[in-house]
Amino acid sequence: MVREDEFVALCRSHGLAATHQRRVIYATVASLHGHPSPELIYEKVKKKIPSISLATVYNNVRTFLASGMLREVSMHHGSLRVEPNNHEHHHLVCVRCRSITDLHAKNLGLLRLKTQPRGFRVTRIAVDVLGICAACAAKEVSK
């Protein structure tokens, strides 16, 4: 479990109030293996705080993501997107607006695995170049 004073300092440094719910949510995420969904986190947190609301878990997961205290696995859109481009390519993904634009494969050096992962048959390697797109950068300057 995350120490109380450490958690307070961490929240302070991110401009967040250090609430009991936040401490338990944060500690729960840190204790989990894999890549949990808010619903799974909610199930785990409920064992410590039975009265907690799913909305509070969502609110705080999003607050942690926005503040940088937690990261998200994928920066893609949440909903299904179809790929009409059949050429071999990768993507530029904006971490602010989640816009996705194509990037020719030749813009990246040769990709290869040093060791083959055991029990996993590799079919393709997809690269996301993450960052801030021009539109979002412009908005940032004008603020």
Nearer to DNA, 3 or 20 (CB): 20
Binding site for DNA (CB under 7 A): 8, 11-12, 16-22, 37-39, 49, 51-56, 58-60, 62-63, 78-80
- Which distant-in-sequence residues (6+ apart) come within 8 Å of 101 by Cβ? 91, 92, 133
Pick the closer one to a copy of itself by CB: 9 or 95: 95
Q: Give, as ranges, the residues between 101 and 130 that touch a copy of itself (CB under 8 A).
A: 101, 103, 106-115, 117, 119-130
Query: Nearest-CA neighbor of 1 among 37, 19, 25, 17?
Result: 25
Candidate ranges 8-16, 47-55, 88-96; the one touching a copy of itself (CB under 8 A): 88-96
CB nearer DNA, residue 4 or residue 108 = 4
- Collapsing DSSP to helix, strand or coil, 95 comes out as coil
Tokens of 143: 């603020």
- When the beta carbons of 82 and 141 are compared against Mn ion, the nearer one is 82
C-alpha 126/C-alpha 54 separation (Å) is 33
Q: What is the C-alpha to C-alpha distance for residues 22 and 26, in angstroms, rounded to an integer?
A: 6
Specify the residue for token string 């890549």: 35
Q: How far is the CB of 96 from Mn ion (least distance, A)?
A: 19
